[in-house]
Structure 1
Amino acid sequence: MKIVSLPPNAPVLMEATRAIGYSLETALADIIDNSITANSTKIDIYFFPIGSPYVAIIDNGAGMDQDELINAMRYGSKNPLDTRATADLGRFGLGLKTASMSQCRKLSVISGKDGIVTGAQWDLDFIATTDDWSLKLLDEDEIKACPHIDEIFINSSGTMVLWQELDRLKVGEFNFDESMGKYMDRVREHLSLVFHRYLSGEAGLKKIRISINKISLESIDPFLTGKSTQVMDEESININGQKIVVSPYILPHISMLSETEINILGGKEGLRKQQGFYVYRNKRLLVWGTWFRLMRQGELSKLARVRVDIPNSLDYLWTLDIKKSVAVPPEVVRRNLAPIIEKLAGRSKRTWTYRGKKETEDSKVHVWDRIKTREGGIVYEINRDYPLIEVLREMGESEKSAIEQLLIQIERGLPLNQLYVDLTSDERVLNEKEVSKADLMPLLKQLFTGCRSEQERKEMVRRLSITEPFDQYLEWLYEFIQEGN
């Protein structure tokens, strides 16, 4: 048997890997992964669209010497099957190169360690002329000509990743200056979500500052922890001695959220599209807004979100892709997640349909009745046994008939289609307002006026204690009774 060494053609492979499918924001997230792995606490991103445009990412991490830098510039610098440090956010040893080259034709990496600054560069146009894996090692003058290089020399250690000749970003753009502003907004939102746990610095995790053109990013917490989010019991799944932690959340009802909070939770696609699992690898968000086909995305489950924390030691089970934007749970995990989301979906439904109260609970008297018809449809009717409506029965026949016709018209005129549109568009429906004492007292007076005996008064108190909205304000009901009304 004869063996032939067949290395890939450099220009062809490097051009081909540019089409892996990175967006600008996912490419930058991949570079930041490397900075975090290098123990950085400060990461600055610079967008410069004028003249010779560039994007620079500078960190204050451990830095690299020349040998380490050359290895880092190698395609496939680390075997994905190797055991990694628990805080390592890398995977294939390709991210620095594939992410960068997806956006630019010239990648320079300048790194300082132990007071020595070194630089290396991949230049696709130069490689096309040499037809080889020709990595440029930058001399001192070339390094000093790089923008923002002073920040590397000032810090005792750190690395700058510099993208130049941004051909992919310029495609189809008539005004690159303006389009860069749009890119920055998209990047800011993406990074604020993906690295929100690092930006907020949760327990056991070092806080990191990330800025874009000197403006610091704010953490976007997809669970609104610390608000009135319901936190369900945390569960663990053990696989091959490694632990996956599952933390279910139910977001507050939309009526309890501000416009800013709704935008944070839903973004442009709305709350419905963002429900589901939020998978984190070493606290870095990988995938979100999916139920992995374990449940459908529905209106009544739109408040349900599940945080899943996986260690990098289980990467091989989750079929993690190069961009770290796709992760599929293995069957053993899917089996354990199914009962969790079943409980979660029920809780979300109750929270969404009636601000946490069960509409179908028979022990309560509601204004509206939900009735299932013989044909399998749903009809909403005003409850004729509601105490305030019963009072109207004491009127004359003509008045009672007019009231009944009014109730029927209200039922028939209920704008169900428009209500559905309003509720699913994440607009705040403001009908559910808190009842004031001044509103409730005249109603109580009217209801008790018709009670002719003490027994009737006691029966009215019993009924009102399970009737909306009086059941929510029992202290006012008992105060009314004690005052002898």
Structure 2
Amino acid sequence: MRLPPLAPDIVRSLRGLGYSAGSAAADLVDNSLAAGARRIHVDFEWAQAPRVVFRDDGRGMDRDELISAMRLGSDPRADRNPGDLGRFGLGLKTASFSQASSLVVVSKADGQQACAARWNLDRIDAASDWELEVGCPDELGLAGDLPIGPTGTAVIWENLDILLGHDGTIDKLYGTAEIVARHLGMTFHRFIESDRAQISVNEIEVAPWDPLALHAAEQVFSEVLEPAHIALRGSILPSPDGLDEEEMRRLAGPNEFLEQQGFYVYREDRLIVGGGWLGIGRSTQSWRLDKKYNLARLSVDLDNSQDVAWSIDVRKSTAVPPSNLRVELYRFASRVRRKAASRVELAGTPSSAAQSTSGPIPIWVLKGNGGVNFQLNRRHPLVARLRQGCVDPGALRSLLDAIERTAPRHGPNPAPRPLDAVAAARQFQIESDLGRLVRTVYVNARKAAGLSPEAARARLMEHPPMRQHEEMVVLLVENIEKELRVDL
């Protein structure tokens, strides 16, 4: 069947829209879900010729519907049924051509014979003729190798010139399959978790990955923006310090903590944007990825009537917040960011470990050896932090040894009495605890409550321990304020 010809530059543009293998696969899964599929199989096959096959148990299409589906484009402004994951009527073609030069679709509707259609860009280029091959599967050389049930559709990518490149290997094909599986697990995690769909890649069930980790979140924020009825949710993840390696890897996600912080925009429960700050920020400078916000993740839920307002692109992988909502998004995200930053700061201090015990962790420990020796507690969280960030462990050990050699002693050599040394150790602990308390209260007053430096200091001095150590508190506040001037 011949369709109206397309200029070569249009054909090339279909292949240059910036799809990754994961986003291209997600576009095809959208079509399956829109067709009512519950089971979706994705198979990366390395046989006589590598190919990728998508199969589903959806409603399927008859011949006329298949030909219509193979045409390019629909009106993106047209009203869509609630829950419809489609957008431009281009996804099947653009996603497929972004990875392969040949696209085959086989489909079977209820009570109909299976039908097939193929676009082959190499053939089109050679013949300068935009011709769609249509027929039964046998006529297109697809006899018997595509198991489709009473209804369903199979999409086949052949000639994987972009997905594999010119030097593609079996390792690259199966490596791509793993990447695609992780991407689908993130993009469709709500569908998988709610049992609306089961997705497998090479016969292995895709595991859902919820970026907000609501089952484990330390704190959850929620709000609805009216009149658009856009649901916002913020999550403070648990600190990795208390997780084992497997839990931490699972929580971090496909791209690790730094890349996964920020907003997750959903359209009809399908993930559109996976992380980042959507260009939100102070005045003309948008927020950047920063490790102190690694525990901050936020979701924005849209329906498909807001596609134009949010500039949803053809790949369904980018979104731009409308100008009239940016202030509200900034306000909501600022709350989550502040909480995440304070949580990271708290986790990075000895207080988090000390709070798990019945009292403060001593920096000095007593050792009897013909007298009483005071030695550094090598397990103290402060020492542990120094070790983690140390580029020269030998130098650090030498420093700790030197400190211990000059520690107070009680024995044959004149030295302060043990009681004096204990008092010194206690004073050190007081100063450490006070520093953490000052930082927590003052930073919260400045950032979360938005108080001026003067008002924040006044609130700080309402605490009795602060008044008892006023000179030390003043010095600490001066240093903290210098840091805040850089951050605010």
The alignment's TM-score, normalised by the length of structure 1, stands at 0.70
Output the CA distance in 2 between the equivalents of 1:140 and 1:419. 61
Task: Establish whether residue 126 from structure 1 lines up as the match of residue 126 from structure 2.
Answer: no
1:83 CA drift (Å): 0.7
Aligned to 1:441: none
Aligned to 2:88: 92
For the pair 1:221 / 2:213, whether they are aligned, the reply is no
* Cα distance in 2 between the residues matched to 1:357 and 1:132: 69
For residue 323 of structure 2, the aligned residue among 320, 324, 331 is 331
Question: Residues 67 and 46 of structure 1: is their aligned pair in 2 closer, same or farther, counting only changes over 3 Å?
Answer: same
Structure 1 residues 17 and 417, CA gap change in structure 2 (3 angstroms): farther
Cα shift readout 1:345-399 (whole Å, capped 9, x = no counterpart): 2221232222499969xxxx99xxxxxxxxxxxxxxxxxxx8978999xxxxx98
Amino acid at match of 2:66: L
Aligned partner of residue 61 in structure 1, secondary structure? coil
The alpha carbon displacement at 1:10 in A equals 4.3
Tell which deviates more after alignment, 91-100 or 218-227.
218-227
- What's the counterpart of residue 17 of structure 1? 14
Aligned position for 1:115: 111
Matches of 1:75 and 1:410, distance apart in 2? 65
Segments of structure 2 that go 5 or more residues without pairing to the other structure are 282-286, 392-418, 420-429, 436-488
1:348 paired with 2:340, answer yes
* In 1, Cα distance between equivalents of 2:315 and 2:364: 65
The residue that corresponds to 2:395 in the other structure is none
- Quick one: distance in 1 between partners of 2:270 and 2:336? 23
Cα shift readout 1:132-169 (whole Å, capped 9, x = no counterpart): 331111235225625632x22xx221111011111113
Q: CA deviation at 1:268?
A: 6.0
Which residue identity does 1:141 align to in structure 2? D
Partner SS, residue 260 of structure 1: helix
CA contact (8 A) 2:310 2:321 kept: yes
Distance in 2 between the 1:132 and 1:220 partners? 44
In structure 1, the partner of 2:252 is 266
Which residue, out of 126, 132, 135, partners 1:138? Answer: 135
Task: Provide the residue aligned with 2:314 in structure 1.
Answer: 322
**Following TM superposition, by how much is the alpha carbon of 1:98 offset from its aligned partner in structure 2, in angstroms?**
0.6
Contact 1:119 1:138 in 2 (8 A): yes
Kindly provide the CA deviation profile for residues 195-223 of structure 1, in whole angstroms up to 9, marking residues without a partner as x.
1111111xxxx521111121111111222
User: 1:267 & 1:101 partners in 2: Cα distance?
Assistant: 28
* Cross-structure match for 1:31: 28
1:42 to 2:39 alignment: yes
Residue 195, structure 1, aligned to residue 188, structure 2: yes
Say what the alpha-carbon RMSD is for the aligned residues. Answer: 3.5
Alignment counterpart, residue 242 of structure 2, candidates 237, 256, 270 = 256
Match of 1:307 in 2: 299
Change (3 A) 1:64 1:322: same
Segment of structure 1 superposing worse, 55-64 or 341-350: 341-350
CA distance in 2, matches of 1:328, 1:420: 38
- Following superposition of structure 1 onto structure 2, how do residues 156-235 of structure 1 map, counting pairs within 5 Å? 156-173=150-167, 176-201=169-194, 207-227=196-216, 229-235=217-223
CA deviation after TM superposition for structure 1 residue 305, in Å: 0.4
1:119-143, CA deviations, whole angstroms, 9 ceiling, x for partnerless residues?
1111112222442331111235225
**Structure 2 CA distance for partners of 1:302 and 1:136, relative to 1, 3 Å:** same
Deviation at residue 191 of structure 1 after TM alignment? 0.8
Query: What's 2:289 paired with?
Result: 297
State which of 243, 258, 264 in structure 2 corresponds to 1:278: 264
Distance 1:133 1:351, change over 3 A: same
TM-score, normalised by the number of residues in structure 2: 0.69
Task: Provide the rounded CA distance (Å) in 2 between the counterparts of 1:233 and 1:34.
Answer: 33
Return the alpha-carbon distance in structure 2 between the equivalents of residues 335 and 303 of structure 1: 22
Contact kept? 1:9, 1:131, Cα under 8 Å: no
The answer to whether the 8 Å contact 1:10/1:133 transfers is: no
Count the aligned residue pairs: 378
CA distance in 2, matches of 1:20, 1:147: 34
State the 1:274 CA deviation: 1.1
Matched to 1:91, the amino acid is R
Task: Please state whether the residue corresponding to 1:34 is helix, strand or coil.
Answer: helix
Write out per-residue CA displacement over residues 23-43 of structure 1, whole angstroms, 9 at most, x where no aligned residue: 211111110010011111000
Q: Name the aligned partner's letter for residue 186 of structure 1.
A: I
Cα deviation digits, residues 7-56 of structure 1 (max 9, x gap): 76344422331121112111111100100111110001111112122111
Contact 1:110–1:161 under 8 Å retained in 2: yes
CA distance in 1, matches of 2:343, 2:251: 16
> Is contact 1:300-1:349 (8 Å) kept?
yes
* Conserved 8 A contact 1:243-1:311: no
Residues 1:291 and 1:140: Cα distance change in structure 2 (over 3 Å): closer
State the distance in 1 between where 2:223 and 2:143 align. Answer: 50
Distance 1:178 1:11 in 2: 33
**Which of 243, 246, 250 is 2:232 aligned to?**
246
The one-character-per-residue Cα deviations of 1:65-110 (angstroms, maximum 9, x if unpaired) are 111111111111x210001111111111111001111111111111
Match of 2:53 among 56, 81, 87: 56
Superposed CA offset, 1:378-423 (max 9, x none): xxxxxxxx8978999xxxxx98xx96xx78x999x9686764589x
Deviations 1:321-354 (A, max 9, x none): 1111111111122111111112112221232222
Aligned in 2, Cα 1:100/1:420: closer, same or farther, shift over 3 Å? same
C-alpha distance 326-146 of structure 1, shift in aligned 2 (>3 A) = farther
CA pair 37-315 structure 1, distance change in 2 beyond 3 A: same
